């Protein structure tokens, strides 16, 4: 049960627990975290699940695949060096304590 902390654009933090194997996007939408739209349902086709991974975690996640990198060019808020599509980050036990920021807008 990894803990994840979402930091909203206004700085408020929202923590939740999520089971291993689900994506960060699924954890967020399942818990009603505002700002994760996920229009395409997790197919790496919309970029409305954009998150900015905390720098301390950026190197600890599996790197993005080509389709994710391509879609990260289409984010509503400018892409950052640690930007990811949250639907493409599958939670593992090693991600206990993951911190991601939600960008200003998703659409
Ligand atoms: Fe559409 Fe992640 S939910 S790209």
Average pLDDT in the 12-18 region? 97
Ligand 1, from 24, 25, 69: best to mutate by most atoms within 8 Å of Cβ? 25
Our mutation pick for probing the ligand 1 site, out of 37, 47, 77, 89, counting the most ligand atoms within 8 A of Cβ, is 47
Is the CB of residue 88 less than 8 Å from the CB of residue 27? no
Closest CA relative to residue 3, chosen from 95, 100, 101: 95
Q: What CATH class does 3-101 carry?
A: alpha beta
Distance, C-alpha 61 to centroid of its chain: 11
The pTM of the full predicted model, rounded to 2 decimals, is 0.96
pLDDT higher than threshold 90 for residue 35:
yes
Q: What is the mean pLDDT of the chain?
A: 96
Q: Which two tokens stand for residue 74?
A: 């289409």
Say yes or no to pLDDT of 97 above 80: yes
Q: Where are the domains of the chain?
A: 3-101
């Amino acid at each position: 049960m990894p803990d994840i902390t979402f930091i909203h654009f206004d700085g408020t933090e929202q923590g939740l627990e999520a089971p291993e194997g689900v994506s960060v996007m699924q954890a967020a939408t399942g818990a009603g975290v505002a700002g994760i739209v996920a229009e395409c349902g997790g197919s790496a086709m919309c970029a409305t699940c954009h998150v900015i991974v905390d720098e301390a975690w950026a190197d600890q996640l599996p790197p993005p695949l080509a389709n994710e990198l391509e879609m990260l060019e289409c984010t509503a808020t400018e892409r950052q060096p640690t930007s990811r599509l949250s639907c493409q980050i599958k939670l593992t036990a090693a991600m206990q304590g993951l911190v991601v920021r939600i960008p200003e807008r998703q659409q």
